[in-house]
Copies of this chain bind each other. A is one copy, B any other.
Amino acid sequence: METNVTDSENCHHHIPEYKDQRVDRYAVYTKTDVYDHIYYIIDRFINLQNLTVGNHAYEKIEGEYTPLTLCQEFFRKGSISPGNDTFDIDPHVDKECISIYPLEPLEDRTLSRDINFSLDFKRLLSVNIYLTLKAINLQTVRHHELPDCYAFSIIIMFDNRAHSGRIKINLENNVGINECKDWNVASTSGKNNHLLLFDSLVILACFTSLILCTRSVYKGSQLQFHYTAFFHTYFGKTVSWSERMEFVNGWYILIIVSDTLTIAGSALKIGIQTKDLTNYDVCSILLGTSTMLVWVGVIRYLGFFKKYNILILALRAAFPNVIRFSCCAGLIYLGYCFCGWIVLGPYHEKFRTLDKVTECLFSLINGDDLYSTFQKMREKRYIVWLFSRLYLYSFLSLFIYMVLSLFIALITDTYETIKQHQKDRVLVSQLKAFVAECRDQPDSGKYKIDKEPTCCCCFGYTL
């Protein structure tokens, strides 16, 4: 995963022009500030080769450098005089672009101030600066992997759409990862092949496990059909769904899912290592999830000791109730989310979008900094202030005191039920009653499906 980390670091740190300023939520307020910022960016771009400590370079397509492009958008016509509440505007948006070409390192530097452009702030909607940089990630050379070639497409946006006296500045950085075209590394060892071999072995092992588990699940479902048919024929009873499900071993399903993910992830990893693919994210999600499932799967073996499986039993037993309960609680939660979004959205950063509200409220239930959330709504109009108080107090009281307590009550109740069950060892289902009639031991190995009415031990076999 080393390359993966590098990749992400590159994305965030390769931009030498803009490092010293906090880009996020950065904003300027005066005309000279806007011009200064634009000139600063252009200067940095032109002098890139003299400044950067990394191996950045301009993009060169067919012998020609890709220029820095500066585009401004503005209303076609606009005479605005707020002094006497009048305006005359044509909302069609015009766009004007100029290109600035980088110079060869040996040429004389021309000052960016020579570039002629002017902004009419009354009509200005936005200024966008587009630039492209290339870089090579040499870090992997040390690990005897081939380096990747990066192309960064950077967009710096000056957003004046609000005309509120504040121009927000944003930086967007998209990275493209390619195989380098022409390379020469003095000595490459075969370490990479070892990795490929290891990955192939992993895939093989997982494939074997996958096939075995699928076979078991298949056999289980076949047995279930036999059992259903048998019961229907001899006793005339239908078999309930919950009993049918007992023939399917949940752990096998888990292993199948985990194996599938591992195989897919390892295949992707081989593709990445041979420089054919670059989607690191999908690969890491597949392998990460499969790792998690493998760890969870270990619980199965703990469950063989009887006292250890209380967690799994309790979780499984509580699951339907918890889901049902969460549905209802979720509806109230959603109600609060929408309400907070609509009313408090304009006044508080954390309520700006619906998914932010969801996260904020979830965080508040779990003990996030509440006072600061309260405080940020302090200086609003009285009615909003009052609403925010009612909203937060009622939400938190309801969820922390009522819903959380009910959760505990639910789980405690389930736990006691399970403990009682473990003590009583009652035969709950038809199936278990049926199996209990067996006189043969399940491990006797007999599978006398031919003389069904007399022996039924076979059915206990796959459980």
Return chain B residues, CB-CB under 8 Å to A363.
369-371, 374
Interface size class of A (residues with CB under 8 A): 35 or more
Question: What 1/0 flags go to A320-341 for Cβ under 8 Å of B?
Answer: 0110110111011011101111
Cβ contact within 8 Å between B86 and A59: no
Return chain B residues, CB-CB under 8 Å to A150.
82
Return chain B residues, CB-CB under 8 Å to A402.
315, 318, 322, 411
A409 at the interface (CB under 8 A from B): yes
The docked-state distance in angstroms from the alpha carbon of A124 to that of B28 is 35
Question: What 1/0 flags go to A144-163 for Cβ under 8 Å of B?
Answer: 10010110000000001111
Stretch in contact with the other chain, from A194-202, A203-211, A290-298, A438-446: A290-298
A54 at the interface (CB under 8 A from B): yes
Cβ contact within 8 Å between B139 and A161: yes
Known: A164-B14, A165-B56. Is A406-B415 also a contact (CB below 8 A)?
yes
The docked-state distance in angstroms from the alpha carbon of A355 to that of B121 is 44
A284 at the interface (CB under 8 A from B): yes
Cβ of A278 to closest chain B Cβ, rounded Å: 12
Question: What 1/0 flags go to A93-109 for Cβ under 8 Å of B?
Answer: 00000000000000000
**Contact partner, A183, options B86, B321, B383, Cβ 8 Å:** B86
Max chain B C-beta neighbours (<10 A), residue from A163, A285, A315: A163
Question: What 1/0 flags go to A399-438 for Cβ under 8 Å of B?
Answer: 0111111111111111110010000000000000000000
**Contact partner, A409, options B53, B341, B415, Cβ 8 Å:** B415
Known: A83-B134, A89-B141, A134-B83. Is A360-B371 also a contact (CB below 8 A)?
yes
The docked-state distance in angstroms from the alpha carbon of A92 to that of B186 is 8
Cβ of A111 to closest chain B Cβ, rounded Å: 18
The docked-state distance in angstroms from the alpha carbon of A336 to that of B291 is 9
**Contact partner, A184, options B87, B167, B347, B360, Cβ 8 Å:** B87
The docked-state distance in angstroms from the alpha carbon of A34 to that of B398 is 49
Cβ contact within 8 Å between A91 and B187: yes
Cβ of A276 to closest chain B Cβ, rounded Å: 16
The docked-state distance in angstroms from the alpha carbon of A291 to that of B383 is 18
A449 at the interface (CB under 8 A from B): no
Cβ contact within 8 Å between B339 and A292: yes
The docked-state distance in angstroms from the alpha carbon of A239 to that of B156 is 74
Beyond the given A296-B332, A359-B389, A405-B411, could you list 13 further A-B residue pairs with CB under 8 A, ordered by the A residue number?
Answer: A77-B186, A82-B149, A83-B134, A87-B182, A89-B184, A137-B163, A137-B164, A285-B387, A289-B339, A292-B336, A366-B400, A405-B412, A406-B415
14 pairs, CB–CB < 8 Å, chain A vs chain B: A8-B347, A14-B165, A28-B53, A57-B83, A60-B83, A85-B149, A89-B186, A284-B346, A299-B328, A359-B371, A359-B389, A366-B370, A368-B370, A406-B415
